[in-house]
A = this chain, B = another copy of it.
Amino acid sequence: MQKQYSIRELADEFDVTTRTLRFYEEKGLLSPLRTNQMRSYTSADRTRLRLILRGKRLGLSLEESSKIILMYDQRASNDEQLQALVAKIREKRQQLAEQQKDLELMLLDLRDAEERCLDALSNNQNEDVA
């Protein structure tokens, strides 16, 4: 017997609005059970929501996240479909690897900018002393 979550519980836990949860459902990203009309979220829904929000933080659209989630829980299909899926997964991994590079570059730039700021500050110190 798994725990079920009300829409408010889930919304509070992940810091989103109930509107957002209903919207994700409308878009087919979540599919909570219904207990006399009220939505009842399972731990599977929680997991999916976590993945969706992680995708958002990485700049993915809901549709992209949706596709990636489908890759995670592939329904064991035939060889052809499996191979196509592997190809998709590899492509996405490739994209993410590129994104990793972008991220590191931006971090380097920011490290640089910070250093220059600190240099400027210590220079101002020296001027004050001189």
Interface of chain A, helix or strand or loop or mixed? helix
**In the docked arrangement, what's the CA distance between A54 and B101, Å?**
10
Which chain B residue has the least Cβ–Cβ distance from A90? B114
How big is the A interface, by class?
A: 35 or more
- Knowing A54-B105, A111-B93 touch, does A121 contact B59 (C-beta < 8 A)? no
- A residues adjacent to B (C-beta < 8 A): 51, 54-60, 68, 71-72, 74, 76, 78-79, 82-83, 85-86, 89-90, 92-93, 96-100, 102-103, 105-107, 109-111, 113-114, 116-118, 120-121, 124
A–B complex contacts, Cβ < 8 Å, 21 sampled: A51-B109, A54-B105, A57-B59, A57-B99, A58-B59, A58-B99, A58-B102, A68-B110, A72-B109, A72-B113, A74-B116, A74-B120, A76-B120, A82-B121, A86-B117, A86-B121, A93-B110, A93-B111, A96-B107, A97-B107, A100-B103
